[in-house]
Chains A and B, each alone.
Chain A
């Protein structure tokens, strides 16, 4: 729109008319793209909105045909019932502790391993890195059965510690930090510090970690969500009512005896709130972290 005015002066009236037409056409295309993306985005979140709507419905409205999309007579009864009948808050707490501890463990292990693999060039280290690279491809579901017996032999079944053992390290986290170390920490900086007599631990703590802050932030968001939404592992490791994570508790709650959809939706809504809120707040970090996964090579 703000193209040079001098060029306009040299154009004939016909050219101007043609350009105006093109511009109008372009604006119409833009507008229809916007409209399409709006509608599509709305449809993407619609299932979750419907779920939240159901949470506020009375049992009578829940079975009405045709189904209503927005509750006519919103009620909090479902929330009260589900919070009273199930240890939902306990399950949330379990999930929260599990996810937090897993995040801490993953951030620590990834920061150390990523830094060492990124900045220390020794052949023996390269070999270890290759082993990690090779095992990174193996999905968790493949080796979770032996891991279950390891947890069992430690007597940690049905505890948060047992859950944690499956989520102590994240190969992708090591790659992500290594990549960041290589690209954003110049060797000269570290050499200068060494010449000034700084020890290796001091360098890691006072130079490397501050420079990795945003990468570690992105990684922690990813790690937290990974543990928060874990399903198969908690399902086999935490099998008592008190040790369920929220996902497992909810899934088993819905297969259990007579459950009405209103209460299920209320429970689901309560579960969705923290993850979606956290995502909206940390959107930038999250997208940065996920985008990092695509740049592996």
Chain B
């Protein structure tokens, strides 16, 4: 009887939340899967079912291919820059937890992560500016020719990787700090007794023990970098009316197909590709985690 009453309370309390959740999450996710199999050009009334035609067309679409390649390069670029840097920084900050300026180390690394995207991107846009930017001025001191950072197809990708890494770093550092705090102290004592230098302790104790954290941060970083959009929107579009758009990324391509070309079904199939990528990354994370658990 009591159990039944509690069940009723649980369901009644949960019902509104579940309804909202179903309506703003589960329903649109189902819709995106459904739409990806339909041809819907927004202007036309009917939406015929066309099976996998959208996907077939997608993989022959050079704009999409460019977007996919660019996004992947950006995502893995951000990963390669962020993870090693974050791990080392977190080790140093953790080592100096009780320093007088410890709050400054943590806060300064984290501020780029909370600063609004667009102003932050604006700041970097000036730094990378070919004519007026301080980066070229700095390089000029070392005798390097000024470079058109935001107009060169390769360099603009580099610029976006720099911007995204600068923003992602703080998050990774915070997660690693939690990881360091949870590491068993006794292992370091043991390593010290065995004559390990601090560097060796880091390399052979911290790095392997932090593997689950590394996996987690890597996947989060990759997934959010695969969704990169605002940074590209600001950096790769010019102030004088956007002639550029050299850096095409997935979300940009998707939104352009949906809201400029009015090809909703086609854009939906792009969203599904994005979803598959994210699921694959998550799956890899879980598999690797389980592998580690099995060996232990």
Q: Roughly how many angstroms separate A128 CA and B169 CA in the complex, as a whole number?
A: 34
Q: Roughly how many angstroms separate A149 CA and B27 CA in the complex, as a whole number?
A: 12
Which of B58-66, B72-80, B222-230 is the contact stretch? Answer: B222-230
Contact B108 A45 (CB under 8 A): yes
Chain A interface SS verdict (over half): helix
Contact B111 A48 (CB under 8 A): yes
Q: Is B274's beta carbon under 8 Å from chain A?
A: yes
Question: Which residues of A sit under 8 angstroms from B175, Cβ to Cβ?
Answer: 290-291, 293-294
Q: Is B247's beta carbon under 8 Å from chain A?
A: no
Which of A9-17, A30-38, A77-85, A209-217 is the contact stretch? Answer: A30-38
Q: How far is the CB of B64 from chain A (nearest CB, A)?
A: 15
Question: Which residues of A sit under 8 angstroms from B106, Cβ to Cβ?
Answer: 287
Nearest B residue (CB) for A268: B119
Q: Is B204's beta carbon under 8 Å from chain A?
A: no
Contact A41 B105 (CB under 8 A): yes
* Cβ-defined partner of A120 (8 Å) among B7, B17, B18: B7
A65-B132, A268-B118, A283-B107 are known contacts. Are A51 and B123 too (CB-CB below 8 A)? yes
Q: Roughly how many angstroms separate A37 CA and B28 CA in the complex, as a whole number?
A: 45
CB-contacts of B192-243 with A (<8 A):
212-213, 216-217, 220, 223-224, 226-227, 229-230, 233-234, 237-242
Q: Is A76's beta carbon under 8 Å from chain B?
A: no
Max chain B C-beta neighbours (<10 A), residue from A44, A51, A116, A275: A44
**Which chain B residues have a beta carbon within 8 Å of chain A's beta carbons?**
2, 6-7, 9-11, 13-14, 16-18, 20-21, 23-29, 31-32, 35, 89, 92-93, 95-96, 99, 101, 103-112, 114-120, 122-124, 126-127, 131-134, 137, 140, 166, 169-171, 174-175, 177-179, 212-213, 216-217, 220, 223-224, 226-227, 229-230, 233-234, 237-242, 251, 254-255, 258-259, 264, 267-268, 271-272, 274-275, 278-279, 282, 289
Q: How far is the CB of B29 from chain A (nearest CB, A)?
A: 5
Chain B interface SS verdict (over half): helix
Cβ contacts A to B, 13 pairs, < 8 Å: A44-B111, A45-B111, A67-B133, A113-B18, A142-B29, A143-B28, A145-B35, A150-B27, A232-B229, A264-B122, A268-B122, A272-B115, A295-B178
* Cβ-defined partner of A257 (8 Å) among B120, B220, B241, B254: B241
Total chain A interface residues with beta-carbon distance under 8 A: 95
Query: Which 8 pairs from chain A and chain B are nearest by CB?
Result: A41-B108, A268-B119, A146-B31, A51-B123, A146-B28, A231-B230, A143-B28, A294-B175
Q: How far is the CB of B19 from chain A (nearest CB, A)?
A: 10
Q: Roughly how many angstroms separate A193 CA and B169 CA in the complex, as a whole number?
A: 46
A168-B20, A236-B255, A247-B118 are known contacts. Are A113 and B14 too (CB-CB below 8 A)? yes
Q: Roughly how many angstroms separate A297 CA and B267 CA in the complex, as a whole number?
A: 33
